[in-house]
Structure 1
Amino acid sequence: MAKLYVNPKVKKGHLNPELQGHFSEHLGRCIYEGIYVGENSDIPNVNGMRTDVVEALKEIHVPVLRWPGGCFADEYHWKDGIGPKEGRKKMINTHWGGVVEDNSFGTHEFMELCRQVGCKTYINGNVGSGTVQEMSEWVEYMTFEGVSPMADLRKKNGHEEAWTVDYFGVGNENWGCGGNMRPEYYGDLYRRYQTYIRNYDREKPVYKIACGANAGDYHWTDKVLETTFDHGRGFMNGLSLHYYTVPGDWGKKGSALEFDEKEYYRTLKATLKMEELIKRHGAIMDQYDPEKKIGMVIDEWGTWYDVEPGTNPGFLYQQNTMRDALVAGINLNLFNKNCDRVKMANIAQMVNVLQSVLLTDGKRMVKTPTWYAFHMYQVHQDAELVESFVETREVGQEEENKVPNLTESVSQSQDGKLHLTLTNLSLDEAEDIESIFADSQVKAVKGTVLTGKMQAHNTFDEPDQVHEEAFSAITVKEDRISFTIPACSVLHLEVELA
């Protein structure tokens, strides 16, 4: 029997709701068809936003949404996406599928989407092909309340009041699709561009995010910080990090649905590399920022497989199984456990692209296993991380791809209740667990579980094959509880102390 130790009296840090953030790019059917169908669609919508999608996103309390990219951000010119839609410029989406982008979803539509979902805004600016003036004017257009050319233009386009831009990314993947830059060059550009991201509302300053590294590129992190920090730290609030779970190689990443047990464990092993990346990039950040004033922003993460057969390879459409729910659970636990440095994370992507929480097909919508993982973990939002430790053993078929059978994190919400989230990565072995709560008496426990075969998934014809169920097989005895977590599962327990 594995022991899970919880010390409710020791708080390890605050869990920003933004740790469960999302990402939507002009890529495939994420925005168009997935989120936005237009006001004249026969699919139920409010101001063009799909009602079913918005309601599903509200159910998981999406805290923040990143837009418009991704690689698309550094070829996006915001003025193409404002004003009467019949007059908006059309362009070719060169990064994703070579399709026509009609710019019918732009700044006003994004802000309307965030209003309906009830989430914060994360805008990614164009450094790769854009100018300082363009970026500066976009911020003015969105956030300036007074009299100015851009504020007047916003009002002319139908929005009298300024919006709030909570987060602003200065470029995206500038080491690659955002310009193939060297870190020193990008660091200098960041210093220049961020200067003109004005805080027009001093009570709502924009949180400025610099482009960080791709996976294990520690040189990028070091040199960007070295280049920016010789001028002080006052103009950088966050530094991004991108890491995708790829079970194969980038040439043949593997199928989202057709995989064996070896590939299952290989996927989870690749996911667990996230902890090493957080620690090593965090150690570099500590050299420049020992007080941890700069947040690590993991604004692209998730699984990346080969596209579904018969779909546009540039649309990155993939199915979503219990394997993906476990990837989500592992990552969300890791973000919680490293909340002293990690301040935001954004799964890629929201609808119909990569590790989506939702899939759509015409009027139909389905919640993926990943959606259910987020639904279970939302209890951690705005809570306090509690000290915890679980005993584990290795599982897996290949020595180099063995993984710990369990991952966990524990928080205390504002109402005083403890929330335990656990994943059992073993495909065939349930695990008996005794959880001991230091200097505490347990009053009541309830829970929910998500479990199934590794390839289990939801389809439009069978949308409930994988879903969250009540979990009540829990024994309570004074300062501890005992339960059995099923194989291949994600579990949430709510514990009320006496």
Structure 2
Amino acid sequence: MKKLILSIALLCSGLFADAQTETLLSIKPAGNQIVSKHIYGHFSEHLGRCIYDGFWVGENSSIPNKGRIRLDVVDALKKIKVPNLRWPGGCFADEYHWRDGIGPRNERPKMVNTNWGGVIEDNSFGTHEFLDLCKMLDCEPYIAGNVGSGTVEEMAKWVEYLNFDGVSPMTAIRKQNGMDKPWKVSFWGVGNESWGCGGNMTPEYYSDLYRRYATYARDYAGAPLKRIASGASSDDYHWTETCMKNIGPGRMWGLTLHYYTLPTGNWGAKGSATKFDEEQYFNTMKNCLRMEEIVSKHAAIMDKYDPKKKVALIVDEWGIWTDVEPGTNPGFLYQQNSLRDALIAGTTLNIFNNHSDRVRMANLAQTINVLQALILTEKDKMVLTPTYHVFDLYKVHMDAKYLPINFTSPDYSLGDKKILALNVSASQDSTGAIHISLVNLDPKNKIALNTDLGELKWKTVTGQILTSAQLTDVNTFTNANKVHNAKFTGAKKSGNTLKVELPAQSVVVLELK
């Protein structure tokens, strides 16, 4: 491949308050590193209205559905090519007993969802229903097994029920329940948040327990497991160190990491999803950008024990977590989704892309009606959030060759505080097209990019943009398209130079052919 050198000068026009600055950005040629499509995964827990009233409608619902799975939701998720879906939790996974969710629905026992609102779970959406959903979405299932309140035998038999194509008690039950051939589920989580709601364990205890559970989660013919260990919360580097040392790279495919962006940094009063000023916005984005430091430090620990990078770092819970919407059940974690959240999504995905040598899977929390949702529903109505539109823009990076980037960002300043205004990632797809995703976090100033592409020969540039007048702008059931993707006309070719004007508070994805 021809050497690709991209230099960008960030020039402040007369509209800018600051003096002119120049920044060099270079993009190196693609190597063997791939931006895994699984970075763009999602998470659906038995929590609030994610499953019930989200994916799953009533038995006699007039909402178009197939086997009670809501079709408009399926169509929307297929459009963004959802690569994998994590289920049944979350905290719910470690109180979920899979046999309660198979067989005739009218015979399934009910249970109390003790983690999320104390509501009654009727188990009508279980293993078969989830795997039907994944088939409709054409995505890979990612199942989190119960280590907290379950047993080794329970998990082992669930794997057998899912993956064994032979004669056994579990396959006989599966066939009795209408599935003759196994699903061959690959992604398998051994517990969830074992440091917290999954058992309040120490890393030393969990890593020993993992080895036991993982031993009996068998590889069956044609169905090798990708075993995933329950990893750290945020900056708990001791947890990662202990798991890497005690479990070792040969016993796990991946190790998880959970990090949520809290607007205030305070779990007690996290801040509103829709009512915030610039100072609250600034602090939110500062907390979002911590993902770079956290991923880098966990990856460095993993490198010490796994220099060949065989173990994936899986950020299978991430996103903004705010206070719930006023008047809603606090245990349902329902929050609106603004332009600010779209900027968080674009920024975080750029970070993951740039660490795709180690981050090979991630799952936004959560898909529908919970936390930083892609989709909100209300009876027969459905709205796509600004975050959904970012995933629609970024799907071009899936399984593309990673293009390394070096640059210095201008600052976004507020008083005496400052953060990086610009973040970028780039990839080259199988057709040779280059995709560059750019996020400008500064809500006031544009960034002018004057780009020299060196030896790269290209003829056209096109793009799409996501922005809005206010950071607090949201899509609602009465105004579903207030924040949406639009054609971007701020990029042009001048000789072999790419000139871009990146608007304030925007996400832009460019395609060069």
Instruction: Please report the TM-score for the alignment, with normalisation by the length of structure 2.
Output: 0.94
- Deviation of 1:103 (Å): 0.4
- On the 8 A contact 2:226/2:253 being kept in 1, the answer is yes
Which of 430, 447, 450 aligns to 1:434? It is: 450
For residue 324 of structure 1, the aligned residue among 327, 341, 344 is: 341
Q: Deviations over 1:87-116 (max 9, x none)?
A: 001011000001000000000000000000
8 Å CA contact 2:314–2:362 kept in 1: the answer is yes
C-alpha displacement at 1:398, in angstroms? 4.6
After superposition, where does 1:5-404 map in structure 2 within 5 Å?
5-7=25-27, 9-11=29-31, 13-201=33-221, 203-229=222-248, 233-248=249-264, 249-400=266-417, 402-404=418-420
Q: Decide whether aligned partners of structure 1 residues 380 and 4 sit closer, same or farther in structure 2, where only a CA change above 3 A counts.
A: farther
The code of the aligned residue for 1:475 comes to K
Cα offset for 1:187?
A: 0.4
Structure 1 residue identity aligned to 2:493: V
Deviation, 1:161, is 1.1
Q: Give, in whole Å, the separation in 2 of the partners of 1:329 and 1:399.
A: 26
Cα distance, 1:199 vs structure 2? 1.1
Post-superposition Cα deviations, 1:356-379, rounded to whole Å, max 9, x if no partner, equal 000000000000000000000000
Q: Alignment partner of 1:464: what SS?
A: coil
Matched, 1:444 2:460: yes
CA offset digits 1:206-236 (Å, max 9, x no partner): 110001000001111111222223xxx3221
CA distance in 1, matches of 2:302, 2:36: 19
Amino acid at match of 1:351: I
Give the secondary structure class of the aligned counterpart of 1:264.
helix
Would you say the 8 A contact 1:5–1:436 is kept in 2? no
Is the partner of 2:161 in helix, strand or coil?
A: helix
Shift of 1:12: 6.4
Cross-structure match for 2:19 = none
Q: Tell me the distance in 2 between the aligned counterparts of 1:195 and 1:106.
A: 25
Q: Secondary structure at the match of 1:346?
A: strand
* Structure 2 counterpart SS, 1:234: helix
Q: Which runs of 5+ in 1 are unaligned?
A: none
1:2-51 superposed Cα distances (whole Å, 9 cap, x missing partner): 15635463436101100000000000000000111145311110111111
8 Å contact from structure 1 (residues 441, 480) kept in 2: no
2:232, 2:490 → 1: CA distance? Answer: 44
- Once residues 238 and 9 of structure 1 are traced to their aligned partners in structure 2, the CA distance between those partners, rounded to angstroms, is 28
Q: Secondary structure, in 3 states, of the residue corresponding to 2:327?
A: coil
Structure 2: state its 5+ residue gaps: 1-8, 11-22
Q: Which amino acid aligns with 2:386?
A: P
Q: Which residue of the partner structure matches residue 479 of structure 1? A: 496
Is contact 1:442–1:478 with CA below 8 Å preserved after alignment? no
Per-residue displacement from partner, 1:110-140 (whole Å, max 9, x unpaired)?
A: 0000000110110000000000000000000
Contact 2:30 2:428 in 1 (8 A): no
The farther-off stretch of 38-47 and 108-117 is: 38-47
- 1:373-396 superposed Cα distances (whole Å, 9 cap, x missing partner): 000000000100112234311113
1:411 aligns with 2:427: yes
Q: Distance in 2 between matches of 1:137 and 1:435?
A: 57
The alignment yields a C-alpha RMSD, in angstroms, of 1.2
How far did 1:441 drift? 2.4
Q: Secondary structure of 1:292's match? A: coil
Residues 30, 401 of structure 2: 8 Å contact kept: no
Checking the alignment, whether the CA contact within 8 Å between 1:212 and 1:221 is kept in structure 2 is yes
Distance 1:147 1:4, change over 3 A: farther
> Percent of aligned pairs with the same residue?
52
Q: How many residues are treated as equivalent by the alignment?
A: 491
Is the 2:48–2:370 contact (alpha carbons within 8 Å) kept by the matching residues of 1? yes
For 1:474 and 1:19, how far apart are their aligned partners in 2? 27
Distance 1:277 1:417 in 2: 31
